[in-house]
């Protein structure tokens, strides 16, 4: 009789453990799928390195300090922070003293799930097909534009190299027709 009770306890413990493990795996799977759905259908890029679109010049200088260079690019004021945190250049573009675009050379950053040096196939799996693609003249570089996510992703030889964030971001390579 005691042996049957011991077997029942062991069997009950096994059932309890298996159902708990199955519940934990189910929760993890649901959270993973929810995160992927959020990134693909809802998430938009609005900030990079603590700077947000529509921040003022004063906000940027307060958070990052004085830029290494100040210039213009296509009618925008451009602040350049060389070797930003030791990992490449970071550009902040202003229109009427508000951040209009953020651009980062890629080393360690991640934007809405897309990471530097990530493979193009992984990017498309995560975000879906881009709304538009621009190719360089030598065909080794592309810009994948996701205007609904405020994101343009620069790729070289199939790998993410840079990010650009702007409202309705849509960038193209300038073709040299000299």
SS3 153: strand
The pTM of the full predicted model, rounded to 2 decimals, is 0.68
Please state the domain count of the chain. 2
Q: What is the CATH number of the domain that holds 114?
A: 3.40.33.10
Total residue length of the chain: 178
Return the pLDDT at 111: 81
| 75 located within any domain | yes
The alpha carbon dihedral of 148, 154, 160, 164 has a sign of negative
* pLDDT, average across residues 158-166: 88
| 175 located within any domain | no
Return the pLDDT at 166: 87
| 30 located within any domain | yes
Tokens of 167: 């409202």
Q: Clarify whether residues 29 and 88 are in a common domain.
A: no
Query: In the chain, what are the helix, strand and coil shares in percent, each to the nearest 5?
Result: 35, 35, 30
pLDDT band at 178 (very low <50, low <70, confident <90, very high): very low
The alpha carbon dihedral of 123, 126, 128, 132 has a sign of negative
Higher local confidence (pLDDT), 65 or 172: 65
Q: Clarify whether residues 14 and 56 are in a common domain.
A: no
% of the chain surpassing 70 pLDDT:
85
Domain that includes residue 120, residue range: 47-166
pLDDT band at 175 (very low <50, low <70, confident <90, very high): low
Query: Is residue 60 classed exposed, middle or buried when 0-12, 13-18 and 19+ CB atoms within 10 A define those classes?
Result: buried
Q: Clarify whether residues 24 and 107 are in a common domain.
A: no
Q: Clarify whether residues 38 and 77 are in a common domain.
A: no
Higher local confidence (pLDDT), 14 or 69: 69
Return the pLDDT at 177: 44
pLDDT higher than threshold 50 for residue 33 = yes
Return the pLDDT at 8: 65
For the chain, give the mean pLDDT: 83
Higher local confidence (pLDDT), 146 or 107: 146
Q: Clarify whether residues 143 and 69 are in a common domain.
A: yes
Q: Clarify whether residues 66 and 92 are in a common domain.
A: yes
Q: Clarify whether residues 17 and 55 are in a common domain.
A: no
| 86 located within any domain | yes
């Amino acid at each position: 009789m005691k042996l049957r009770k011991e077997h029942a306890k062991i069997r009950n413990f096994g059932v309890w453990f298996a159902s708990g493990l199955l519940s934990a795996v189910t929760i993890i799977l649901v959270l993973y799928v929810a995160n992927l759905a959020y990134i693909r259908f809802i998430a938009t890029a609005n900030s990079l390195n603590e700077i947000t679109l529509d921040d003022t010049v004063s906000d940027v200088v307060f958070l990052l300090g004085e830029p290494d260079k100040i210039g213009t690019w296509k009618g925008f004021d451009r602040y350049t922070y060389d070797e930003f945190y030791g990992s490449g250049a970071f550009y902040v573009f202003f229109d009427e003293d508000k951040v209009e675009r953020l651009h980062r050379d890629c080393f360690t950053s991640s934007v809405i799930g897309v990471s530097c040096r990530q493979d193009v196939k992984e990017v498309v799996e995560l975000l879906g097909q881009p709304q538009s693609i621009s190719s360089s003249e030598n065909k080794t570089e592309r810009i994948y534009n996701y205007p609904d996510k405020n994101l343009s992703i620069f790729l070289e030889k199939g790998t993410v190299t840079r990010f650009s964030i702007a409202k309705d971001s849509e960038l193209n390579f300038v073709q040299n027709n000299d």
